[in-house]
Structure 1
């Protein structure tokens, strides 16, 4: 059996907060017992509202945030067992693309210097070789070599995002975490970046985790999807299965919130009501106060993530939920959208 590229087990991160000088510290679970695995060249999307724990999960996977409990394995090796030298090798084989490309780039360094920096830090090639490889990578992401000497403020948002992607790929990583990588871009530029990511994945030996709140975008980019709510994965499975028949009310609500230009299909399901409430996580289903399908059992028993239909869902009534009309709006309708 092949070893997964990435694997987690009961991965948990709790942040402590103090609301006042004399107040007792409280804990909030940003990631709650998350278990999943990612194979070589596989693509998984992590979706949910702001505050659901998506970015925290991404940082945990890359070892940028230490977990409170649980484990992460990369290529069969536990993060806890990595020596400083092995952490350096791990940094070469993994990468992160952040949400805001302007803040991710150094305003005092040229584009060429920033793309080549990783090669120089890890002493893979000399300076001239690093700059040559940087210019080649710049062309690979659809930009001209003449931009090597430009600074971030001299480029558009879409161009800067391509630069950040080029910098992330310059070391030929096996795993990339895209954290809201297209959310700051306008729709036309988003389409260009999505097309770029699909093309690069086909060319490179690459697996990635695509973190986003936009279900309209993620369907074009991943094989599997994991829906997070207040630190827990509430539904996961093959992208087409989940979109065709979402088995968790939260997934249904997210799909219903995807805008459509068809006037006949608007407002077909109620939007999500209320706000994220972290106090609901201790007992029962955390989504129960916002769920139109909630029953008495939902307030006393935490639903486990279990197989239902073609996916897994953490809902007591997963088998009872009808097919969502909203899913028909966002499930890929044309073969050319499939990778």
Structure 2
């Protein structure tokens, strides 16, 4: 039996809030009892709206945020048991690619200095070798070695994102967390970066967690998907199984919101209404206040993940959703009005 590269069990993170001087502090669960495994060279996508806990999950996996409860193991070692030396070794094996490449880069350092910095800090290469490896990595991500002496403000958004990816991969990590890595880019540039990530994964011994709110992109980049809502996993499984037969109303609504390139086809799945309601998390289904399929049971009983072949869903009515997100062709008279 293969040992997972990364294992998360009952991972929970609560943040305390205080709205006034005399008010009692309250807590909000950014991640609520999340468990999953990531094998070597596996790709997992984490999707959901802003505020669903995706970025918190990524930081928990990398040990950048301590969990309130639960554990994370990387190569069989629990984050809680790591010594300072263990953390140094772990940092060499993992990387984070942040959402905004301009804010992720130091404006006062050249591109070459920033990509090579990891090698110098961890003392895996001298300056000459670090320079050569930096040039090679920049060319690997589609940039010219002549850009070594440029500063971030002298590059386009797509070029900066490639620099951030090069910096994340320069130490040959085993795990990379991409946190909304393409959301700030134009659509044409997004396609280029997606193609780059696919080719790099094929070349490198790499596993990654791809965090995004865009289901249009994630389907081309991952093997499995985790759908989150207010800190909870509401559906997870094989990417094709979830796309072809989503079992949770939230997943179906997210898929229905993905625009189609065919003007004659229009999604008819009920759209998501309202806003994220953190107060609904304490009891029952957290999505019930926005769900068009909610029943009385949803308000009193928290649904647990149930197995449905190659996927799991946390919905009391999951068995009723037996097909893909429905769509309809627009009639000729509707096309004139659309």
TM-score (norm 1): 0.95
2:197 pairs with 1:197:
yes
* Alignment of structure 1 residues 143-162 onto 2, 5 Å: 143-162=143-162
Match of 1:79 in 2: 79
Give the corresponding residue for 2:124. Answer: 124
What SS does the aligned partner of 1:165 have?
Answer: helix
Any conservation in 2 of the 1:244–1:328 contact (CA below 8 Å)? no
Task: Verify the 8 A CA contact 2:266 2:327 in the aligned structure 1.
Answer: no
**Large movers: runs of 4+ above 6 Å:** none
Establish whether residue 299 from structure 1 lines up as the match of residue 303 from structure 2: no
Query: Following TM superposition, by how much is the alpha carbon of 1:98 offset from its aligned partner in structure 2, in angstroms?
Result: 0.2
Tell me whether 1:230 sits opposite 2:215 in the alignment. Answer: no
After superposition, what is the alpha-carbon deviation per residue over 1:25-79, rounded to whole angstroms, capped at 9, x for unaligned?
0000000000000000000000000000000000000000000010000001100
RMSD: 1.3
C-alpha change, 1:326 and 1:100, in structure 2 (3 Å) is farther
The superposition leaves residues 74-115 of structure 1 with CA deviations (integer Å, 9 ceiling, x where unpaired) of 001100110000000000000000000000000000000000
Distance 1:246 1:260 in 2: 18
CA–CA distance in structure 2, aligned partners of residues 328 and 307 of structure 1:
30
Instruction: Show the counterpart of 1:337.
Output: none
Is the 8 Å Cα contact of residues 174 and 206 (structure 1) preserved in structure 2?
Answer: yes
Report the Cα distance in structure 1 between the residues aligned to 2:35 and 2:188, rounded to whole angstroms.
Answer: 35
Query: 1:18-33 residue pairs with structure 2 within 5 A?
Result: 18-33=18-33
Unmatched 5+ stretches in structure 1:
330-339
Counterpart in the other structure of 1:334 = none
Contact 2:175–2:208 under 8 Å retained in 1: yes
Aligned residue in 1 for 2:286: 286
Partner secondary structure for residue 280 of structure 2? helix
Give the C-alpha shift of residue 134 in structure 1: 0.6
For residues 19 and 135 of structure 1, the distance between their equivalents in structure 2, rounded to whole angstroms, comes to 50
* 2:274 counterpart of 1:266: no
Q: 1:170, 1:221 → 2: CA distance?
A: 21
State the distance in 2 between where 1:119 and 1:168 align: 11
Report the equivalent of 1:141: 141
Provide the rounded CA distance (Å) in 1 between the counterparts of 2:299 and 2:327. 27
Shift of 1:127: 1.2
Q: Which residue in the other structure is 2:316 paired with?
A: 316
Change in CA separation of 1:185 and 1:327 when aligned onto 2, cut-off 3 Å = farther
- Secondary structure class of the residue paired with 1:319: helix
How many residues are matched?
A: 329
